[in-house]
Every structure is written in C-alpha cells, then in structure tokens.
C-alpha cells in the first residue's frame, strides 16, 4: 500500500509539473524546430532524464527549410487554436511561465529569420527576384519585434502569444511555399545544404536566458509541491533553480517523506494536489475557449497594423506591392546548380535577430 501511494504521488509530481514545465534548451542544434508537436512528458521520460527537471519540447513554429511543402503541418482554420498551443498555455499561469513561453517563441522565430535571410541572399546571387520572399521576411521580423515587446504583465499576454505564434507559423509556411515557386529545382538541393549550415551562434544569449527562466519556473513549481508534503528543502530548490540539480534528488526526497507520512496525511496531500491539477486544466480550457472569440478580426487588425508599419519604414515599396499582388515571382534567369561554397554558403545574419532585453528580470 505504501508503495502504491508513493507511486501515485510521483505520478502527481510529474503531471502537476511536467505539462507546464519547460525543456532544457539544446545548445548545439535546433532540432526541436523540425518537430512541430509538443509532447507532454510522462513518467518514463522523467525517469530517464538526468540533466533537467522535465523534458518538454520548446515552443515551435515550422522552421524555414527546403523541403517539399506538401509535407507541412496543416495550419488550423482561423477560428481554431491547435492542441500543441493549448498544451503550451499550461505554463502561462504566471509571470515566469509567460516570459518563458515568449522567449521560446522569440528564439523559434529568430532561427527562421536567420534561415530565411540566408535563402534571400542566395536567391539574389542566382539573379532571381527575391522581392516576395523579402516581404515575408520583413513581416516575420516585425512579428518578432512584437514578441520581444510583449507585456508579460498584461491580461492579454496569453492571447498575444497565441496570435503571434499563429501569424509566424503561417508566414514561415508561406515562405517555404514561395521558395519552391521561385527557385529552379536544380538549385533547391544546394540551398537545402546551405540552410542546414546556417550559423545560429548569435542566439546563445537567448538560449541562456531561456534556460535560466526554465530553471526558475521548475524550482518554483517543485517548491510548491514540496510545500504540500510539508517539506522545506531550500538547498535542493536552490540547486534546481541554478540548474545544478535534477529530478533524481527531488524524487528521493519525496520517497523519504512519503515513508514518514500517515495514511491520512498522504490522502490529504494527494487530494489537494489533484484538485489543483483539475483547476489548472479547467483554467487552460477557459483561456483556450476565450481565445477563439474574434480570432479572424484580431488577425486582420494585426495584419493591417503591420502593413502600415512596414510602409512607414519603407519596407513595402511600390515594386514590392506589385510583387505581392502577383501569384508568384518567376525566375529572371535560370542558373544551373553549382556546388560552389562561395555562392552556396554565404552566411548572413539579420541585425534584428539579436535578442532584445525584454525581461531578464521577473516582475
């Protein structure tokens, strides 16, 4: 019986923290961007995790790539919010979680901007009109600016997150589709290699901030859980907050504490945590349903606002507008594929990809 209670409490630990918690950033590759699905961590995942408290994927939009666009994940209709995003909202129950998710979205968009810029540069080298691609890139950069300047204290922060992610995802898919329309088939393979090698080292500072906020978020959740068990483990919580400790130590403390608790204490702790879990789920559902209201109108307003801003900044000139109204941009000259590193891998970095100082501090 003691064993069953211990396992139940361990499961509650996983499911009360994991669905909302944040994954450790991959500091070498951005493979998470290739996977557009959020996977909720289960007990087995946590058991096998050595370096972080939980193991959820990051906030993702489809990445810029040179793949057949027929395999793209379908964008939900305008009046819907996808399940992946609903899962991500579970962490946005406080300032830490909101800031964390916005930072992750900023990083995902930043990677796509870097890749998109490298493609635009390569297209120019091929003597093909890149105007339509540049229009999409400029709008994607504007969305990133909106993410960076988002107010995490605002009641609308969750709605902004969902709207901006949806807009960014749509633009990225439009970019990929346009690439296939304007670039000759024989050049696509070379571009694919170039995009895979794009330099993302300038995102290190942003990755570090994401890791810091993830550890703070996880430590806060675990501290609350320990409180329900009557445990005060300041050193352990601090170790998790600083990214020095993992879930193994926390599990051991829970097992030890469970062995000391009476049957009634265990029942009460189990009941309290379960109630919180149900309430959190209902809160997310409520937010989720509210987000569906006026989603088309909000989208049009954002689009109009961005067009006005880009026009004002001179990033949507007469030529660009003409290109935008045409179905696609045809190559002005067909160039044979040439695996020449000079042309193929011209590294480019956008000046606005550097992380803006949104909120290294919690409010």
- Residue 130 dihedral angles phi and psi, to the nearest 5°: -110, 10
The SS3 call for residue 42 is coil
Dump pLDDT digits (tens) for 206-240.
Answer: 999 999 999 999 889 888 888 888 888 888 889 88
Report the SS3 class of residue 93: coil
Question: Which of 168-194 are b and which e, b meaning 16 or more Cβ less than 10 Å from the residue's Cβ?
Answer: bbbbbbbbbebbeebbeeebeebbeeb
Q: What is the percent of the chain where pLDDT is above 70? A: 64
Res 62: pLDDT: 57
On whether residue 257 sits in a domain, the answer given is: yes
| pLDDT tens column, 84-105 | 887 888 888 889 999 999 999 9
Instruction: Report DSSP letters for 306-353, one per residue.
Output: HHHHHHHTT-S-HHHHHHHHSS-PPPSS-------HHHHT-----GGG
Query: How many separate domains does the chain show?
Result: 1
The per-residue pLDDT for 243 is: 85
* Residue 314, Cβ density class (10 Å: 0-12 exposed, 13-18 middle, ≥19 buried): exposed
pLDDT surpassing 60 at residue 327: no
Name the residue range of residue 271's domain.
2-335
Q: What is the pLDDT of residues 104-125, one digit of tens each?
A: 999 999 999 999 999 999 998 8
In a domain, 277, yes or no: yes
Q: State the DSSP H helix or E strand holding residue 362, giving kind and residue range, or none if neither.
A: none
pLDDT in tens, 286-322: 877 777 778 888 889 999 999 999 988 887 653 433 3
Q: Identify the CA nearest to 210 among candidates 311, 338, 102, 302.
A: 102
pLDDT at position 252, please?
Answer: 82
Task: Judge whether 269 lies within some domain.
Answer: yes
pLDDT of the residue at 313: 85
355, 209 contact by CB (below 8 A):
yes
Q: Is 349 inside any structural domain?
A: no
> Is the residue at 213 inside a domain?
yes
pLDDT of residue 60: 61
Burial of 255 (0-12, 13-18, 19+ CB in 10 A): middle
Residue 359 within a domain: no
Distance CA 191, CA 49 (A): 36
Percentage of the chain lying above the pLDDT 90 cut = 25
């Amino acid at each position: 019986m003691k064993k069953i209670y211990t396992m139940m409490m361990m499961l509650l630990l996983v499911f009360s923290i994991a669905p909302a918690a944040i994954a450790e950033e991959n500091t070498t590759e951005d493979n998470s961007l290739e996977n557009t699905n959020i996977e909720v961590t289960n007990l087995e995942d946590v058991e096998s995790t050595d370096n972080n408290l939980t193991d959820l994927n990051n906030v993702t939009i489809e990445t810029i790539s040179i793949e057949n666009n027929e395999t793209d994940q379908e964008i939900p209709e305008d009046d819907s919010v996808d399940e992946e995003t609903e899962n991500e909202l579970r962490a946005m129950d406080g300032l830490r979680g909101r800031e964390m998710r916005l930072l992750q979205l900023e990083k995902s968009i930043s990677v796509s901007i870097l890749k998109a810029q490298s493609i635009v540069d390569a297209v120019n080298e091929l003597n093909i009109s890149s105007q339509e691609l540049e229009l999409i890139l400029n709008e994607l950069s504007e969305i990133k600016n909106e993410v960076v300047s988002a107010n995490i204290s605002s009641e609308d922060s969750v709605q902004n997150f969902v709207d901006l992610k949806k807009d960014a995802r749509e633009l990225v898919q439009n970019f990929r589709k346009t690439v296939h329309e304007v670039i000759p088939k024989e050049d696509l393979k070379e571009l694919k290699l170039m995009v895979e090698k794009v330099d993302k080292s300038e995102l290190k500072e942003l990755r570090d901030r994401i890791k810091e906020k993830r550890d703070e978020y996880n430590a806060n959740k675990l501290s609350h859980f320990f409180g329900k068990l009557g445990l005060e483990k300041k050193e352990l919580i601090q170790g998790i907050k600083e990214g020095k400790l993992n879930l193994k130590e926390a599990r051991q403390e829970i097992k030890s504490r469970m062995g000391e608790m009476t049957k009634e204490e265990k029942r009460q702790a189990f009941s309290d945590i379960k109630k919180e879990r149900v309430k959190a789920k209902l809160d997310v559902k409520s937010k989720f349903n509210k987000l569906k209201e006026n989603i088309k109108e909000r989208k049009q307003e954002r689009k109009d606002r961005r067009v006005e801003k880009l026009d004002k900044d001179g990033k949507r000139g007469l030529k660009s507008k003409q290109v935008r109204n045409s179905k696609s941009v045809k190559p002005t000259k067909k160039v044979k594929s040439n695996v020449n590193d000079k042309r193929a891998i011209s590294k480019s970095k956008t000046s606005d990809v550097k992380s803006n100082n949104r909120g290294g501090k919690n409010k």
